[in-house]
């Protein structure tokens, strides 16, 4: 029957328990959460500041600088692995969580998204905040950030999804359990001698990695779609 085809005749969770015993997936979870949300927090700060500067301030070389930022969108991240790796080595950060996070603290797409969002906010609100004695940072926080929240949520969701699934860069700069994220941990798990071609264990490990992200999407599916609909660029 169809049920037996998908779930088998004797469903069991033993493979998940065995996978957790063989590999330190709990530590990999901790590492991944720190990496994903560490990157996200810094990104939200940098893209908000950069987007506000490009949307409201006038300075020499502004258009050239913004063009250079947009130019990064055409450069694949894999092309920057060698210079980024050299920088991490020189900073003596190899095999640390900060090494995985550091190249992603800025985001060209996020800067562009916030700039376009901030440009839709009337300048009259700037003048009103200045008359109330607010400085530029207070204006950004109280005037610009609230209406930009849908765009920030959309960016946050895409950032979390990307960095949760990122594999190549963490593979290059991590070499121990204390710094490996789930994706690299899964690759190491599948190469262990005792695993071999035991596909039930490999499948269980894969579900352990992608399960939380899939579950979050199913729970917040409506918010996920609405955030992108409301963050359309004008």
Q: Are 148 and 114 in contact (CB under 8 A)?
A: yes
Instruction: State the CATH number of the domain containing residue 20.
Output: 1.10.3720.10
Cβ atoms of 54 and 66 closer than 8 Å: yes
Of 159, 164, 162, 123, residue with least CA distance to 144: 123
Q: Is residue 5 part of a domain?
A: no
For the chain, report the end-to-end CA distance as a whole number of angstroms: 52
Domain that holds residue 169: 12-229
> Is 1 a member of any domain?
no
> What is the pLDDT at residue 126?
86
Distance CA 218, CA 169 (A): 28
Supply the DSSP symbol for 12: -
Task: Identify whether 234 is part of a domain.
Answer: no
Distance of alpha carbon 118 from alpha carbon 132, whole angstroms:
20
What's residue 181's pLDDT? 96
* Total-model pTM: 0.87
Distance separating alpha carbons of residues 137 and 55, to the nearest angstrom: 14
Asked if residue 145 belongs to a domain, the reply is yes
Q: Could you give the number of structural domains in the chain? A: 1
Q: Is residue 99 part of a domain?
A: yes
Residue 132 maps to a domain: yes
Give the CA radius of gyration of the chain: 22
User: What's the average pLDDT block by block, 10 residues per block, for the chain (234 residues)?
Assistant: 56 85 92 97 97 92 92 88 95 96 95 93 88 89 91 90 94 95 91 68 89 84 70 50
């Amino acid at each position: 029957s169809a049920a037996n085809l998908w779930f088998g005749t004797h469903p069991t969770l033993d493979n998940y328990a065995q996978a957790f015993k063989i590999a330190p997936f709990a530590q990999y979870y901790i590492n991944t959460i720190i990496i994903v949300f560490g990157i996200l927090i810094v990104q939200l700060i940098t893209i908000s500041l950069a987007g506000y500067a490009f949307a409201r301030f006038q300075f020499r070389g502004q258009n050239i600088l913004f063009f250079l930022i947009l130019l990064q969108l055409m450069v694949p991240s894999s092309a920057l692995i060698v210079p980024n790796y050299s920088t991490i080595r020189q900073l003596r950060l190899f095999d640390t969580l900060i090494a995985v996070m550091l190249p992603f603290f800025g985001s060209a797409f996020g800067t562009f998204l916030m700039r376009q969002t901030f440009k839709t906010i009337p300048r009259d609100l700037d003048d009103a905040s200045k008359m109330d004695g607010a400085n530029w940072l207070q204006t950004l926080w109280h005037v610009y950030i609230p209406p930009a929240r849908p765009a920030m949520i959309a960016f946050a969701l895409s950032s979390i999804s990307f960095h949760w699934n990122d594999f190549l860069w963490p593979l290059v700069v991590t070499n121990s359990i204390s710094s490996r994220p789930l994706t690299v941990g899964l690759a190491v798990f599948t190469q262990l001698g005792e695993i071999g071609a035991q596909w039930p264990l490999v499948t269980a490990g894969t579900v352990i990695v992608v399960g939380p992200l899939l579950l979050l999407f199913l729970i917040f599916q409506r918010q996920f779609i609405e955030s992108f609909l409301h963050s359309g660029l004008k």
